[in-house]
């Protein structure tokens, strides 16, 4: 299976983060897995990563949850669209959700950066499919 350098998990659920991080590590999907717990923390991380700050590698793959406190996934995506296209180049964005409501899935269509949504937590088959499809 292919692997990437850095994956960024954006989710406010500690259990989901633990399960996803453990699975991704076990499958050696990335050499570096970063976790932030809301959209604001993610934007702060990405501002540093996209400006080339040391210790903030640019993520190859981002998983973002829809429903979070402080700043939810849609608010994050609104702000993410403001980054210049060169910064976002070669970063794959996927949505993770426990509630794939019709309304949320329709709303996701407004965000071309989001390639697909997956139910959380991730399964081995999901990770294999993601790595084969996007990398």
Range of the domain at 47: 4-134
CATH number at residue 63: 3.40.50.2300
> What pLDDT, on the 0 to 100 scale, is given for residue 79?
96
Residue 12 has pLDDT above 90, yes or no: yes
* Average pLDDT along the chain: 94
Q: Give 33's pLDDT tier (boundaries 50, 70, 90).
A: very high
Structural domains of the chain, count:
1
For residues 97 and 104, is the Cβ–Cβ distance under 8 A? yes
Higher pLDDT, 103 or 9: 9
Paired tokens of 61:
């793959």
Residue 102 has pLDDT above 90, yes or no: no
For residues 105-122, give the mean pLDDT: 92
């Amino acid at each position: 299976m292919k692997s990437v350098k850095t994956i960024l998990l954006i989710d406010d659920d500690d259990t989901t983060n633990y399960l996803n991080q453990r699975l991704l590590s076990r499958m050696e999907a990335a050499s570096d897995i970063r976790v932030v717990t809301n959209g604001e923390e993610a934007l702060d991380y990405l501002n540093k990563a996209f400006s080339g700050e040391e210790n903030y590698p640019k993520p190859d793959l981002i998983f973002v949850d829809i429903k979070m406190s402080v700043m939810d996934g849609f608010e994050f995506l609104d702000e993410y669209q403001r980054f210049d296209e060169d910064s976002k180049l070669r970063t794959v964005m996927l949505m993770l959700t426990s509630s794939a409501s019709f309304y949320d899935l329709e709303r996701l269509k407004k965000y071309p950066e989001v390639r697909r949504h997956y139910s959380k937590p991730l399964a081995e088959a999901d990770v294999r499919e993601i790595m084969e499809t996007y990398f």
